[in-house]
Structure 1
Amino acid sequence: MDAQRHIVHIDLDSFFVSVERQFNPSLVGKAVIIGGSADRGVVASCSYEARAFGVHSAMPTRQALKLCPHAIVIHGTHGRYSEASRKVTEIIHRSVPLYQKTSVDEFYIDLSGMERFHDPYQIASDLRQTVIRETGLPISFGMGSSKTIAKMATNQAKPNGQLRIAHGGEKDFLAPLPIKKIPGLGENTCQKLYKYGIEKIGDLQRVNLMFLETVFGKMGTYIYNKAHGVDDSEIVPHGERKSISTENTFHQDVSDAKTIENILVSMTEELAGKLRKENKVSGCLAIKIRYANFETHTQQQKIALTAAEHILIPGIKALLYKAWNTHRPIRLIGVKLSNLCTGSYQINLFEDNEERIRLYQAMDNINFKFGDKTVCRAAGMEIGARTFNPFLKG
């Protein structure tokens, strides 16, 4: 018989709102929306008081204010959230042997095997109290035999609570919950299931696997397993890379500013797409240029956390002209994004208007399905596939 797993999912409740309330206690108990401007911005986070009116993250701010006109809108402060997330990460890092940070406010912890020494639920409870005591932030956790059960338990425990699902009790815990509570189940999939009269997870548990595979293909197996609490995915140990970079060497030295700018746009797009794919943001830009005599110059600049090209590209271009003596041809050019941290989607909601967010999501979805650079900016397209560019080496 396999050893029992003890997986904990930790979520900082209304994280951005909770951090802002520490700096402005008058916000406590009020409907708060954090995100972009009221006309074209998007909700990055909101308080439970605002959620009661139907407000949720990624909703256009103007729509949120129609639902909850009395809400207080705050633009948000990147540094505060990064610092609060760092403090929580440090507490978890010193307290448990294996954890995975999946966003600025969300963690998975594997306490499997710890039952030989201590009660895993007590370890998780003590950790939660330590975080509350040392940071003042409300926090919830769920505990179960898998990441899926733990995450769904956390959602049931919120706000500011904790819940343990006993081994063997997974199906009973899941059965009364709506199917939309299953992580990763999109609206379209739910609508299809509703047509078959499947509304609760318990309804799904009674459905034949072959039926789900016929209707949904491979996704049917995923749905079936989730409904039965089956999830063998592992906790990936915490250890994030801190930078991402790319560089190109020219076959012939290049002095044309437009050509160099277009190549920089393409390189920056490529790196930004990778960041968004990995749910990361960058806090520092850097550029490297090398002349024919191998003399190398670099420039870097700290920025607000982002993975958005409309912010990264102008910054990279500005660094180019700080580093480059435009009278001298360039042999090699490189772009580096560093000071990486997790949680790009939420943080990008602060700086991008609604249209831009939809554009990035659409671009990323197409590039994910059909390959990088299927869609990109016209400037990046000019240098397109590198194999066809006479200036670039392989």
Structure 2
Amino acid sequence: MVNQRRLIAHVDMDAFFASVEQRDRPDLRGRPVIVGGDGARGVVAAASYEARRYGVRSAMPAARARRLCPHAVFVRARHAHYREVSEAIFEVFAAHAERVEGLSLDEAYLDLGPFDPAILPAAIGRRLKQAVFDATGLTASVGLAGTKLIAKLASDYDKPDGLTWVPDETVQRFLDPLPIRRLPGIGPSTAGRLHDAGIFTVGQLRQGPESLLSQALGRQAGTFRQRAAGIDPRPVDDRRVRRSISQESTFSEDLHELAAIEEVIRTQAAACARRLRERSLYARTVHLKLRSGGFSTLTRSQSLDGYTRNAETVAEAACALARAWAGYQSRIGVRLIGTGVSGLEGQPDPGQIL
């Protein structure tokens, strides 16, 4: 009889943007590739594993990446193309899983159904990886387990092109030696408090005295102790939708005119509206992000009276936020502009659609 425990996969494409570029341009294969602007103010969107060996990471200033890896090849990002490739990947996921919970363009949880003792989970994982490669020419790292938490940790265990299966009976053996930073939700500040308390591994967190954990973690102590024990009852949620959609642009020189800023916002708003229509979604809130030449960042948002996927409605709300900001500035200088929408809904009440 089939065991009703579920087999969960976490699939993470390997250096997705950079791998797409290496796939499309054979001359880049085996070379350090950095996706993103290579100007003085550019930012790394993605780095191939060849570039990561030199310490290059996403979100790093391009100038620093150039210093770390001077022989890297910089490639301009092609986000529309990456979305097309992502759609092909998710078609593979849908063909192999009962439910798919997308996390980003290149990452998802898959509910592969009940455990079947007649089929080895590793064999299922190999078939999934091969199907992704056959459809796209790209490699993925796959973690398999009985919970989302362990599957996600497993997918990162043997990157790139890895496959790690963690049976229930080996979960603690897998978790205990891991550094506490590997647990979701533990950032540098929390890790620092735990280190001060003498807790460095997941096993030490799981076995630590309750009084010590409460002092370091506060009300979250019980939650983190559960994670350290591998407990995660969350199902794969195929109803999950993206919480926001946004577009950003970084400029080699500051923009000093409000008209130029509004022109960029309108272009970004049109792109956001197009993506809303492609996903059959509507948005309730409009966001604006502005970063100055001195790297200070301002974020503002405006809730609408209803839901929209109209480019002009999004643009007018974002431009109004920009005008309000500019009214308080003696001098305008902007190096980055981001326009986005959130409060996404698939089927709002018809009376609420703007």
TM-score of the aligned structures, taking structure 1 as reference length = 0.64
| Cα offsets for 1:287-330 (capped at 9, x unmatched) | xxxxxxxxxxxxxxxxxxxxxx97773248999xxxxxxxxxxx
User: Partner letter of residue 177 of structure 2?
Assistant: P
Indicate which of 265, 287, 297 corresponds to 1:313.
Answer: 265
Which residue in 2 is equivalent to 1:203? Answer: 204
Which residue in 2 is equivalent to 1:22? Answer: 23
Q: Do the aligned partners of residues 279 and 138 (structure 1) sit closer, same or farther apart at CA in structure 2, a change above 3 Å counting?
A: farther
Which residue in 1 is equivalent to 2:245? Answer: 280
What SS does structure 1 have at the residue aligned with 2:18? helix
Q: Do the aligned partners of residues 3 and 335 (structure 1) sit closer, same or farther apart at CA in structure 2, a change above 3 Å counting?
A: closer
1 or 2 for the larger relative contact order (CA 8 Å, sep ≥6)? 1
TM-score of the aligned structures, taking structure 2 as reference length = 0.70
Unaligned runs of 5+ in 2: 248-260, 282-288, 304-316, 327-354
The whole-number CA distance in structure 2 between the counterparts of 1:380 and 1:94 is 49
The whole-number CA distance in structure 2 between the counterparts of 1:38 and 1:89 is 33
Q: CA deviation at 1:81?
A: 0.6
- List aligned pairs for 1:131-142, cutoff 5 A: 131-142=132-143
Q: Do the aligned partners of residues 356 and 117 (structure 1) sit closer, same or farther apart at CA in structure 2, a change above 3 Å counting?
A: farther
1:359 paired with 2:303, answer no
| Cα offsets for 1:79-119 (capped at 9, x unmatched) | 22111101111111122211111100001011242527744
Aligned-pair Cα RMSD in Å: 3.7
Q: Do the aligned partners of residues 214 and 160 (structure 1) sit closer, same or farther apart at CA in structure 2, a change above 3 Å counting?
A: same
Is contact 1:41-1:354 (8 Å) kept?
no
Which residue in 2 is equivalent to 1:83? Answer: 84
- List aligned pairs for 1:148-163, cutoff 5 A: 148-163=149-164
- List aligned pairs for 1:37-76, cutoff 5 A: 37-76=38-77
Q: CA deviation at 1:19?
A: 0.5
Q: CA deviation at 1:236?
A: 0.7
Which residue in 2 is equivalent to 1:339? Answer: 278
- List aligned pairs for 1:27-38, cutoff 5 A: 27-38=28-39
Which residue in 1 is equivalent to 2:123? Answer: 122
Give the paired residue count.
288
Q: Indicate the structure (1 or 2) with the bigger Cα radius of gyration.
A: 1
What SS does structure 2 have at the residue aligned with 1:169? helix
User: Partner letter of residue 339 of structure 1?
Assistant: E
The whole-number CA distance in structure 2 between the counterparts of 1:311 and 1:197 is 54
Q: CA deviation at 1:198?
A: 2.0
Which residue in 2 is equivalent to 1:377? Answer: 321
Bigger shift: residues 150-159 or 93-102? 93-102
Bigger shift: residues 25-34 or 191-200? 191-200
Unaligned runs of 5+ in 1: 241-274, 283-308, 320-333, 343-350, 368-372, 383-394
The whole-number CA distance in structure 2 between the counterparts of 1:122 and 1:354 is 52
What SS does structure 2 have at the residue aligned with 1:193? helix
Q: Do the aligned partners of residues 313 and 76 (structure 1) sit closer, same or farther apart at CA in structure 2, a change above 3 Å counting?
A: closer
User: Partner letter of residue 338 of structure 1?
Assistant: R
Is contact 2:125-2:163 (8 Å) kept?
no
Q: Do the aligned partners of residues 192 and 108 (structure 1) sit closer, same or farther apart at CA in structure 2, a change above 3 Å counting?
A: same
Which residue in 2 is equivalent to 1:391? Answer: none
